[in-house]
Amino acid sequence: MTNARETRFAKRRAVVVGINDYQDGNNHLPSCINDVKAFEKILREDYAFEEIGRLVDSEATVAGVTAALQRLVADASPDDRLVFFFSGHGSTELRNGVAEQCMVLYDGYLFDDELSQMTQSLPPGIFTLVADCCLSGGLEKTLADAGVSGRWRRQSCARQSLHSCN
């Protein structure tokens, strides 16, 4: 259900990613694709999203997810609402001798600082990240502490509304 305030937003775009079956054959998960389907339904039916890119299992490569995120944030305006949903494994990996949080994609990792770099040019308050993965709490530190004063606020995903995150 949408109201007049919500319909003024120029674009409602999302990228939803879920990985049940990982490339290495180990550590498969039972319900990430079901999570994607349920979240996509909520975006369409409750928030009137029409542009939703879905990547599941072998489609959710580093290159595929990065390209989808670049399309998501391209030409964004202050009235847009952008959502990135991920359901899969999360991890802490050593990179250049530093432990960093990341989302485990089908063929590699999407590190928190890479996601932050892709979203830094967005107008404040239009991007929502929902990460259903281990160590997802560590992902928000980069978005919250990215060095852009006042831009990111730490909020619980369950409490952040898609239409009132300013």
User: Which residues are annotated as catalytic?
Assistant: 89, 134
In this structure, what token pair is assigned to residue 120? 């830094």
Encoding tokens for residue 1?
Answer: 């259900």
Instruction: Report the DSSP pairing between strands 12-18 and 51-56.
Output: parallel
Name residues whose C-beta falls within 8 Å of residue 123's C-beta, 6 or more positions apart in sequence.
76, 77, 78, 80
Q: How far apart are CA 163 and CA 166, in angstroms?
A: 8
